[in-house]
Amino acid sequence: MSLRFSLRAVLLGGLLTAPALTTAHATSLNFGVAYVQPQAPWSWPVWARAGVDDVALGGGTLSGSVSTRALSVGYRRGLSLPPLAAVTASTDLTVTRQGYRLSSRASGSAGPVAVTAGGAAFTVPATVNDPLAAYAQAPVDLRLKGWNADLSIRYRVNRDLVAVVGGEAGPQAHATLGVEGRRPLTRIVPPDPADQPEASGDGSDPAPIPAPDTEVTGTVNWRAGVRAGADLLAVTGGVGYATPAGITLNLDALAGVQDWRREQTRQRAWGLSGSVAAPDLLGEGSTLRAYAAYEPWRAAASPLRAGLNAAVPAGSGFLNVDVAGGRGLDGALGFGVKVGYQFDLGRP
C-alpha cells in the first residue's frame, strides 16, 4: 500500500466515521489577536480571529472560524462500541486565496490496544491557522506545501507499562519503538494516637495494630525508545513527574547520528525539550505552562522553540495569553504574542 493511498484513507476516515456518541460540550465563542515578527509568507504581522466551537451537528460537533488570513471549519465525532472499543475522529479544512490545508486524525482503542493515525495535505503553511505555530511546543511541519502522516500503536502490558510502536512519513520518514512506564510515589500516613489499641486490664493480648495507611505524593513517568530513518538513528528517553495537585514536569532527550549511512556527511544528532505546568497559580481555575525545546536534527520544524501559556478565568469565560519565540528554519530569530478570550454560550 503506497503512502499516498494511506494518507488519503486517513483523511477520508475522519469524514466517514460511523454513527457516533459524543461527549456533550457547550457551544463556545472565541476571539483572538496576535502580533508576530518576522511575519509569515504573504501575511501581515497583526492577526485577528473569531470563531465558534462545539456546535452539535449530526452526532458530532462542528467548529468554524474566520481570520485575517483564512477561513476554517472542523468536524469531530466519536463512536462507542461497548464494552471495550471506542473510536474518535476529526477533520479540519482551512481555505485561503493562496491554497488550503486539510488534516484528519482518528484514534481507537479495543482492550489493551490503542491506535492513533493522522495525516495532512497542504499548499499553505501552518501559520495560516496559528501565527505562533513555528514556536509551538510540539514540532510543526512548516513547509509551504506538502503532506505528512503518522501512526502510533500502544499496547498496555500491565497497569504501569505500555509498549509503543509507530512511525511518520513526510519530510523525515522515521520508525519509532519504545516503552513507557509509571511509578506512584507514596508515603506512610502517621497514625492517629486515638486509633491506637489500648492494653487490656485483664492481662490478655491487646488488639492487633492495624496496617499503616499510605497516600500518593506524586507519580513518576518514564519513557525510552529508538528512532530510525534514512537520515537519523537515535535513542530517546524522558522522565516526568506529576503531583496530586496537578503540577507536572517533563524532560525528554534524543542522542544519535544523522546521515548515519554516509560516512562523508555523518554527524552527531541531539535534542532536548522540557516543560512545566501548574494549575491555580494565577488564581483558582487558572493554568500556567512554560516550555522550551532545542532539536536541530528536525528538517521541517523550528530547531529552537520556547513559550509561556496562561489561561485565567475572566468574567464568564477564560482569558488566554501566549508568548513564544525561537529560531526558524531560515535561522532567523522570531517571537510572537497572542491574546484570546473564550466563553460558553448560556454560561452565567
- The pTM of this model reads 0.84
124 Ramachandran zone, left/alpha/beta (phi>0; psi -120 to 50): beta
Estimate to the nearest angstrom the gap between the alpha carbon of 178 and the chain centroid: 18
Q: How far is Cα 198 from Cα 54, in angstroms, rounded to an integer?
A: 61
pLDDT 10s per residue in the chain (348 long)? 343 434 444 343 443 333 333 445 689 999 999 999 987 665 678 999 999 999 999 899 999 999 999 999 999 999 887 776 899 999 999 999 999 999 999 999 998 999 999 999 999 999 998 999 999 999 999 999 999 999 999 999 999 999 999 999 999 999 999 999 999 998 887 776 665 555 555 555 565 666 677 788 899 999 999 999 989 999 999 999 999 999 999 999 999 999 877 777 789 999 999 999 999 999 999 999 999 999 999 999 999 999 999 999 998 899 999 999 999 988 899 999 999 999 998 655
Q: How high is the pLDDT of residue 115?
A: 96
Residues 6+ apart with CB under 8 A from 2: none
Q: How high is the pLDDT of residue 35?
A: 95
Among 255, 258, 257, 260, smallest CA distance to 236 is for 255
Q: How far is Cα 31 from Cα 100, in angstroms, rounded to an integer?
A: 22
Does residue 229 sit in helix, strand or coil?
strand
Estimate to the nearest angstrom the gap between the alpha carbon of 124 and the chain centroid: 22
Q: How far is CA 146 from CA 7, 14, 130, 303, in A?
A: 12, 19, 18, 19
Q: How far is CA 282 from CA 242, 243, 311, 322, in A?
A: 19, 18, 9, 15
- DSSP assignment of 206-264: PPPPPPPPEEEEEEEEEEEEEEEESSEEEEEEEEEEE-TTS-EEEEEEEEEEESTT-TT
240 touches 249 (CB < 8 A): yes
Which neighbouring-strand residues pair with 121? Answer: 102, 147
- DSSP assignment of 122-168: ESS-GGGT-TTGGG-SS-----SSEEEEEEEEEEEEETTEEEEEEEE
Q: How high is the pLDDT of residue 163?
A: 98
Q: How far is Cα 264 from Cα 35, in angstroms, rounded to an integer?
A: 43
Q: How high is the pLDDT of residue 194?
A: 61
Q: How far is Cα 139 from Cα 107, in angstroms, rounded to an integer?
A: 20
Q: How far is Cα 309 from Cα 311, in angstroms, rounded to an integer?
A: 7
Which neighbouring-strand residues pair with 307? Answer: 291, 324
